Chains A and B, each alone.
Chain A
Amino acid sequence: MERPLKILILDDEPIVCKRLQPALEKLGYEVESFTDSVEATRRIQETSYDIVITDLKMKEIDGMRFLEEVKSRYPKTEVIVITGFATMETAKQSFRKGVFDFIAKPFKLGELQEVVNRAAAKIRGES
């Protein structure tokens, strides 16, 4: 059997992590979630992830910097951005390169699961 893909979730609203983690675990992924971007940044220095799901607007570090950090360390990691509806356009403009997909909050769990599965298929196809 293939090894389960590793996912990191970063969103400073605990509810988002709390709901995404079990929903993705149910699909067979190995998931870690963070509400604190400093902690998440520390974590990606220790270990790599196949998929990173991050919010854009957060208190400490903004999602943009976190994303750059991930991409520069692990160019193969697929990043999915989840962001408030209002910031969706800015998100699209500033991340033309490198981001796998964007999802506007609020979103359906099924939508996110679908995007993650697509990213996973891409990774599996490449490896």
Chain B
Amino acid sequence: MVFRVVQNFLNRFKKPKIVSIDIAQIFEHFQKLLQNNQRVMELIADLGEKSGGEYVFDRKYLVDMVEELHSLLLHMVQELNFISSNKYLALYTSLDRIITQLETELRGRLSFGQETPIAVALDKAPLDRPELIGGKANTLAIIYCNLKLPIPPNGLVITTRAYQLFLEANALEDRIYALLESWVNGERDEHSTSRQIRYHILAGIIPKEISKEIEQWVDKRDLPKRWAVRSSAYGENGELSFAGIHETMLNVPPKEIPYAYKRVLASLYSPEALVYRRKMNMLSEEAAMAVIIQEMVHSKVSGVIHTVDVSGENPDSLVIYASWGLGRTVVEGRDVVDRFIVEKVAPYNILKKEIATKTISIKPAGISGEKEEMLTEENRELPTLSEKDIVQLVKWALTLERYFKYPQEIEWAIDQNGEYVILQSRRLVIPREKEFSQQNITTLCDQYPILFKDVGMVVHSGVGSGVVAKISSDSDMENFPEGGVLVTKFTAPWLARIVPKASAIIAERGSAAGHLATIAREFRVPTLVGVEGATERLQNGQVITVDAKSRIIYSGRVKELLSYELVAEPFPFEDTPEFRLLRRLYRRIAPLHLIDPSSPDFTPEGCRSVHDMVRFIHEKAVEELINLPKLLQKSSGVHVYTLESEIPLGLKILDLGGGIDPRVIETGRLRPQDIRSVPLKALWSGLSAPGVWSTEPVSVDFTGMMSSLTKTPSEASAITSPTQFNLAVISQTYMNLHLHLGYHFNMIDTRVEPDSYHNYIYFRFVGGVTDNARRSRRAKLISTILSRYHFKVDLKEDLVVARVLHLGEEDMIRRLQMLGRLIGFTRQLDIQLQSDEDITNFIKAFYEFEYCH
């Protein structure tokens, strides 16, 4: 390693010597670069797979992974610099930057740096940093940003970093520590300890940088005159429940917010909180308090939902408690309240409705704070919720429970305008033994008919149940039922928007590393792929239970298993520090930001992730190769063939090994039948199919339509300009193809092997001679067609970038054939696409044509 570093260092001072380059060595390096590229992509896929919960891994795995990525990237940077005569030395800096970030993640981030924010808007808060924004804010941010459910408006989180600043500015850390120590040593009781600490906090001065943030936030939003100030301690709502231990201040006028802020900070040291933390063995750990400031919701009705009946009397049901006015009535038990028991499956039958004779309602007091008000005679007996209200609340409650994978205790409200809002959701603690007394869960599950067993791959572990909804078109998507089980042939990226509504996902094809897999994990939806025959054997409307942990699909709703998972499992794997770390690393490794090679960001400096780096290196390496054929003519050993065919492409072929019939070396002539490269063969068969390029008559209307569209008489003039090579770099399973057709440009990079794990197609299309509108039409047309073939497509004006991953050999070959036909048909289409209607007609005709193949 040291040797390499020295070598790199020396390389930086070498002048590029193009003439003396050894061509054979360049190809050797290019091949190594391809192998390393492949290995990095495998590691990324591996990391994706590990984040699905099926695997048990430890920190060491993550450390080793980062180390291997580092070494692979370093090699790739060296190889590219060899091929390009040191054009990309800046990549060493990018590599350092990206690896440093990964190592920082590995070290953990509990110590805040200068750049850590003092305050963040709740709707922009980072979802993976509960240590910064505290448990409650983290939950609210997920509810709003991820699950798209309403929370009170205008929320600001004063972070735990601000809390640290506050302590530092008032020199409180040591004082608090000393007081806690004397309590633990039995020198004073919790009440006096708490009183002392809280006194110090309330007497403290809020540092300017914090009060400025609060003032600016409140001043900018002059409409709401009253605010709610809530605790969001680190650990609160997480694995431990701090229900009701910390302070919440309601109806706070702007001037009193700073004082309310200190009150909430001080509640971190209330006697209850101290005793609780000591009992939970957390006293030695650093306690930290973030605080949420949000607009006050003037609720007409409010209450709490328990997604499991704690009494155990009503299995598979949830309980809603409701009262008039603000939430304290229910939370603090100040009065009798209405109670509704509702089934957890659609249509959500109300099993019991207990309407209490209520006496009080809590209202905001005139200037600040709250007051109790006697209810009018009429309101005492009136139910607080309508059936419509109940159904709405139940649906949300189930969404929250599905996501968090614990029974939930949800505080909600309905404001004066009848709008619903979720105030918070936390883990509902249920005595474990109550539900499961030595029952063998496996035996209980055995009563249910098994539809599938030991099939498929786990993309995201867990258990979900609901009605089957098979999706194959947009209109199916519109009707997807809340909490349904998504059943589909392919894990196409366009399915992403219904993932949050699904209770489980089953796909016949797809991989643990695809785009949909990422989304399924984001929303923690149990997902199995590779379940052959699922779309045939499962019927719409049928109720099933998907156990993605044991890879079993049951007929019916396996209540026992669902409640076992919810109650008896001690924690969802997604919430462990290792999984959170994996996901944080993954976000710096896997996303691809560098999509467009012509964009100004497509530079070493623009690389933000590991994926960006390999993408950049690969692109540039291929670019170097394209300029090589001219050089190659003069060199011996490596031969570039020109494909002899009726299709006037002048395609040059460079074989890295196994891509062509060995006999070609003797004859020196390469014809289409000599191609052995699986991807090139597939593409060529599409490109050269009857009616695609040649003018021979075929029995489909499509070519008729094509000829009416492409009226340009002389095609040949627009094919290849002599300065641009059409080049395919191939091996038996690999192809990198650059095609300049007229004024536009296609690039395909693909690998097709028997094992789907390595397979991908990367397709890029850009350019055209006509005006922007028409070019964009063609790009739109291509992207529509490709997404129908389950590509993930990015479209930017006239640039189309499409990717498909991990399909089987057959599926890949079919797609390459289709790409061949598509390239053939669309080569001049932009001139003719005069209206958006032409796009629709073309797409329709293309499908019909494809159907015949």
Residue numbers of A with Cβ under 8 A of B are 11, 13, 15-16, 18-20, 22, 26-28, 84, 86, 105-110, 112
Please state if B442 and A105 are interface contacts (CB–CB under 8 Å).
no
Interface size on B, residues (CB 8 A): 27
Tell which of B56, B441, B551 has the most Cβ of chain A within 10 Å. B56
Please state if A109 and B442 are interface contacts (CB–CB under 8 Å).
no
Chain A residues with CB below 8 A from B646, complex form = none
Q: Could you mark each residue 43-58 of chain B with 1 if its beta carbon is under 8 Å from any beta carbon of chain A, else 0?
A: 0000000100011111
Which single member of B56, B57, B550, B569 contacts A20 (CB below 8 Å)? B56
* Interface residues of chain B: helix, strand, loop or mixed (majority): mixed
Tell me whether B570 is interfacial, beta carbon within 8 Å.
Answer: yes
Chain B residues with CB below 8 A from A22, complex form = 568-570
Bound state CA distance, A84 and B57, in angstroms?
9
Please state if B442 and A110 are interface contacts (CB–CB under 8 Å).
no
- In the complex, residue of chain A having the shortest beta-carbon distance to the beta carbon of B549: A109
Chain A residues with CB below 8 A from B550, complex form = 110
Which single member of A15, A20, A112 contacts B576 (CB below 8 Å)? A15
Bound state CA distance, A86 and B564, in angstroms?
36
Please state if B58 and A15 are interface contacts (CB–CB under 8 Å).
yes
Please state if B440 and A109 are interface contacts (CB–CB under 8 Å).
no
A55 to chain B, nearest CB (A): 9
**6 nearest A-B pairs in the assembled complex, by CB-CB distance:** A106-B57, A13-B58, A15-B578, A106-B55, A19-B56, A28-B440
Tell me whether B276 is interfacial, beta carbon within 8 Å.
Answer: no
Chain A residues with CB below 8 A from B61, complex form = 84, 105-106
Tell me whether B371 is interfacial, beta carbon within 8 Å.
Answer: no
Chain B residues with CB below 8 A from A13, complex form = 58-60
Q: Could you mark each residue 532-561 of chain B with 1 if its beta carbon is under 8 Å from any beta carbon of chain A, else 0?
A: 000000000000000001110000000000
Bound state CA distance, A13 and B268, in angstroms?
30
Chain A residues with CB below 8 A from B576, complex form = 15, 18-19
Bound state CA distance, A19 and B573, in angstroms?
8
Bound state CA distance, A27 and B440, in angstroms?
8
B38 to chain A, nearest CB (A): 19
Tell me whether B403 is interfacial, beta carbon within 8 Å.
Answer: no
Chain A residues with CB below 8 A from B54, complex form = 108-110
Tell me whether B571 is interfacial, beta carbon within 8 Å.
Answer: yes
Which single member of B50, B458, B569 contacts A106 (CB below 8 Å)? B50
Known: A18-B576, A27-B442. A109 touches B570 (CB 8 A): no
Bound state CA distance, A108 and B58, in angstroms?
12
Which single member of A16, A20, A26, A107 contacts B442 (CB below 8 Å)? A26
Chain B residues with CB below 8 A from A109, complex form = 54-56, 461, 549
Please state if B571 and A18 are interface contacts (CB–CB under 8 Å).
yes
Please state if A105 and B56 are interface contacts (CB–CB under 8 Å).
yes
Chain A residues with CB below 8 A from B440, complex form = 28
Bound state CA distance, A126 and B589, in angstroms?
50
Q: What are 23 A-to-B residue pairs whose CB atoms are below 8 Å?
A: A13-B58, A15-B56, A16-B58, A18-B570, A18-B571, A19-B56, A19-B576, A20-B56, A22-B570, A26-B442, A26-B564, A84-B61, A86-B64, A105-B56, A105-B58, A106-B55, A106-B56, A106-B61, A107-B56, A108-B54, A108-B458, A109-B461, A110-B550
**Residues 605 to 621 of chain B near chain A (Cβ within 8 Å):** none
- In the complex, residue of chain A having the shortest beta-carbon distance to the beta carbon of B573: A19
Chain B residues with CB below 8 A from A112, complex form = 56
Tell which of B55, B440, B549 has the most Cβ of chain A within 10 Å. B55
Chain A residues with CB below 8 A from B571, complex form = 18
Which single member of A18, A27, A28, A105 contacts B57 (CB below 8 Å)? A105
Residue numbers of B with Cβ under 8 A of A are 50, 54-61, 64, 440-442, 458, 461, 549-551, 564, 568-571, 573, 576-578
Tell which of A11, A26, A86, A105 has the most Cβ of chain B within 10 Å. A26
A22 to chain B, nearest CB (A): 6
Known: A22-B569, A84-B60. A108 touches B55 (CB 8 A): yes
- In the complex, residue of chain A having the shortest beta-carbon distance to the beta carbon of B443: A28
Chain B residues with CB below 8 A from A106, complex form = 50, 55-58, 61
Known: A15-B576, A106-B50. A28 touches B442 (CB 8 A): yes
- In the complex, residue of chain B having the shortest beta-carbon distance to the beta carbon of A12: B58
Chain A residues with CB below 8 A from B570, complex form = 18, 22
- In the complex, residue of chain A having the shortest beta-carbon distance to the beta carbon of B54: A108
Chain A residues with CB below 8 A from B59, complex form = 13, 15
A21 to chain B, nearest CB (A): 8
Bound state CA distance, A86 and B571, in angstroms?
30
Which single member of A26, A84, A86, A107 contacts B55 (CB below 8 Å)? A107
Chain B residues with CB below 8 A from A19, complex form = 56, 573, 576
Chain A residues with CB below 8 A from B564, complex form = 26
Chain A residues with CB below 8 A from B64, complex form = 84, 86
Bound state CA distance, A27 and B564, in angstroms?
12
Bound state CA distance, A13 and B578, in angstroms?
10
- In the complex, residue of chain A having the shortest beta-carbon distance to the beta carbon of B551: A110
- In the complex, residue of chain B having the shortest beta-carbon distance to the beta carbon of A19: B56
Chain A residues with CB below 8 A from B58, complex form = 11, 13, 15-16, 105-106
A36 to chain B, nearest CB (A): 15
Chain A residues with CB below 8 A from B60, complex form = 13, 84, 105
Chain B residues with CB below 8 A from A18, complex form = 570-571, 576
Chain A residues with CB below 8 A from B56, complex form = 15-16, 19-20, 105-109, 112
B43 to chain A, nearest CB (A): 13
- In the complex, residue of chain B having the shortest beta-carbon distance to the beta carbon of A15: B578
Bound state CA distance, A105 and B549, in angstroms?
18
Bound state CA distance, A26 and B564, in angstroms?
9
Chain B residues with CB below 8 A from A105, complex form = 56-58, 60-61
Chain A residues with CB below 8 A from B573, complex form = 19
A25 to chain B, nearest CB (A): 8
Chain B residues with CB below 8 A from A27, complex form = 442
- In the complex, residue of chain B having the shortest beta-carbon distance to the beta carbon of A113: B550
- In the complex, residue of chain A having the shortest beta-carbon distance to the beta carbon of B561: A26
Chain B residues with CB below 8 A from A84, complex form = 60-61, 64
- In the complex, residue of chain A having the shortest beta-carbon distance to the beta carbon of B576: A15
B585 to chain A, nearest CB (A): 14
Bound state CA distance, A16 and B569, in angstroms?
15
Chain A residues with CB below 8 A from B50, complex form = 106
Chain B residues with CB below 8 A from A28, complex form = 440, 442
Bound state CA distance, A21 and B836, in angstroms?
60
A17 to chain B, nearest CB (A): 10
Bound state CA distance, A84 and B551, in angstroms?
26
- In the complex, residue of chain B having the shortest beta-carbon distance to the beta carbon of A1: B440
Bound state CA distance, A3 and B56, in angstroms?
28
- In the complex, residue of chain A having the shortest beta-carbon distance to the beta carbon of B441: A26
Chain B residues with CB below 8 A from A11, complex form = 58
B770 to chain A, nearest CB (A): 53
- In the complex, residue of chain B having the shortest beta-carbon distance to the beta carbon of A84: B60
- In the complex, residue of chain B having the shortest beta-carbon distance to the beta carbon of A17: B56
Bound state CA distance, A112 and B568, in angstroms?
20
Bound state CA distance, A117 and B569, in angstroms?
20
